[in-house]
């Protein structure tokens, strides 16, 4: 069990000793243990008997809701945490997990609302701010997202007892937000605070240097990255952008053509390669690439329209399925899988609500 689960177990033990509800308390503790092993059936068989009224009920609902979430029983998970929030409106746990569930279902408006409540009721929980930041980033609200990631990092820096590991990923997310918002100075500053930045952060530093017009520094950074890992396509793209502001040697067209074979749906790479061929006078190849780029651009525009539509219609299953198909065509299998799962989850949720309607 990780540190958070040890703390959870200690919380249960304290209630057990105070209330002397030995039987039910041990059921909850045992369920929490099985939850750490991801044996969800064992969790639910033990926890159902412990959800009656009493001091243990909030903890039982929490473990049960986490188990339902682990099994992707979205409506049941939502109902468990919504019940907890109804019985204790200031429950940080309830709002935090409702935000996770709605984010998984790509119901971003509801997810943001619940994540904000989680930060209000537990202002020292770095994970709640990071969760809110990730939802805002997915919604295209980069400036707001950067503030949430910065707050999460501030909390981890000021409290060593938090014992949280994902600070590197939060820093990376923060820098992505800053670069998307055009705050390149702030991005470089954030990366400088990391003792041993990852390759991804180093590529982002090159992007920031390019954005600041520091071409020589950006080029050196990209070349150093490619010496460490020649497959860093993001570094290749940034390097080519730098070189294009100086000259367009044939070697960079060849380099990007080779990358295109491995990344056939990278719209940024395709458009950049089309620009290079145009400057080299290869008109036919430029037209082919521009046609391909326009097709991908239309898919991107449609995806933005659909995401906006899903925002206002959280039960739009067809929209989620169309988004999954678009991301399949774009070659982003991870995004496609997420949208397909979100569609299935929303369908389950709708059916469950309809089944319980009077």
In this predicted model, what pLDDT tens digit does every residue of 263-287 receive, in sequence order?
888 888 888 888 888 888 888 988 9
Nearby residues of 142 by Cβ (< 8 Å), 6 or more positions away: 136, 177, 178, 180, 181
Q: Is residue 278 part of a domain?
A: no
Q: Is residue 87 part of a domain?
A: no
Cβ atoms of 130 and 148 within 8 Å: the answer is yes
Q: Which of 246, 270, 292 is the last residue of a domain?
A: 246
Question: What DSSP designation does 162 have?
Answer: G
| Over residues 57-77, mean pLDDT | 88
Count up the domains in the chain and report the number. Answer: 2
Instruction: With a cut of 70, say whether residue 26 has pLDDT above it.
Output: no
CB atoms within 10 A of CB 140: 13
Q: Is residue 352 part of a domain?
A: no
Q: Which of 224, 246, 268 is the last residue of a domain?
A: 246
CB atoms within 10 A of CB 181: 16
Q: Is residue 36 part of a domain?
A: yes
Q: Is residue 251 part of a domain?
A: no
pLDDT value of residue 240: 86
Tokens found for residue 319:
């929209």
| Among 220, 207, 201, residue whose Cα is nearest residue 181 | 207
pTM for this predicted structure = 0.77
For residues 63 and 78, what is the distance between their CA atoms, to the nearest angstrom?
A: 13
Q: Is residue 15 part of a domain?
A: yes
Q: Is residue 127 part of a domain?
A: no
Q: Is residue 155 part of a domain?
A: no
The range of the structural domain enclosing residue 238 comes to 210-246
* Tens-digit pLDDT profile for residues 290-321: 899 889 889 988 998 888 888 878 789 999 99
């Amino acid at each position: 069990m990780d540190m958070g689960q040890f703390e959870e177990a200690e919380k249960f033990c304290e209630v057990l000793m105070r209330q002397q509800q030995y039987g039910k308390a041990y059921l909850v503790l045992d369920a929490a243990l099985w939850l750490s092993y991801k044996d969800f059936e064992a969790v639910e068989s033990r926890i159902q008997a412990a959800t009656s009224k009493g001091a243990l009920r909030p903890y039982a609902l929490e473990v049960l809701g986490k188990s339902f979430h682990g099994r992707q029983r979205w409506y049941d998970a939502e109902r468990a945490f919504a019940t907890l929030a109804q019985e204790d409106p200031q429950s940080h746990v309830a709002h935090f997990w409702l935000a996770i569930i709605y984010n998984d279902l790509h119901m971003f408006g509801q997810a943001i609302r619940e994540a904000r409540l989680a930060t209000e009721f537990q202002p020292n929980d770095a994970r709640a701010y990071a969760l809110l930041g990730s939802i805002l980033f997915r919604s295209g609200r980069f400036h707001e997202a950067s503030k949430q990631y910065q707050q999460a990092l501030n909390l981890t820096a000021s409290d060593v007892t938090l014992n949280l590991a994902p600070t590197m990923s939060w820093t990376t997310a923060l820098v992505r937000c800053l670069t998307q918002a055009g705050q390149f100075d702030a991005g470089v500053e954030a990366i400088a605070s990391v003792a041993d930045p990852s390759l991804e952060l180093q590529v982002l530093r090159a992007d920031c240097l390019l954005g600041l017009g520091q071409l020589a520094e950006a080029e050196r950074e990209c070349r150093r990255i490619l010496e460490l890992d020649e497959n860093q396509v993001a570094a290749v793209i940034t390097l080519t952008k730098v070189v294009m502001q100086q000259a367009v040697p044939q070697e960079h067209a060849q380099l990007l053509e080779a990358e295109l074979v491995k990344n056939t749906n990278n719209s940024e790479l395709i458009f950049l390669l089309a620009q290079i061929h145009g400057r080299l006078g290869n008109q036919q190849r430029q037209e082919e690439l521009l046609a391909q780029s326009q097709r991908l651009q239309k898919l991107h525009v449609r995806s933005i329209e659909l995401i906006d539509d899903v925002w206002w219609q959280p039960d739009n299953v067809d929209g989620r399925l169309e988004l999954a198909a678009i991301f399949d065509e774009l070659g982003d299998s991870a995004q496609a899988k997420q949208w397909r799962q979100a569609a299935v989850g929303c369908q389950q949720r709708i059916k469950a609500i309809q089944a319980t309607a009077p």
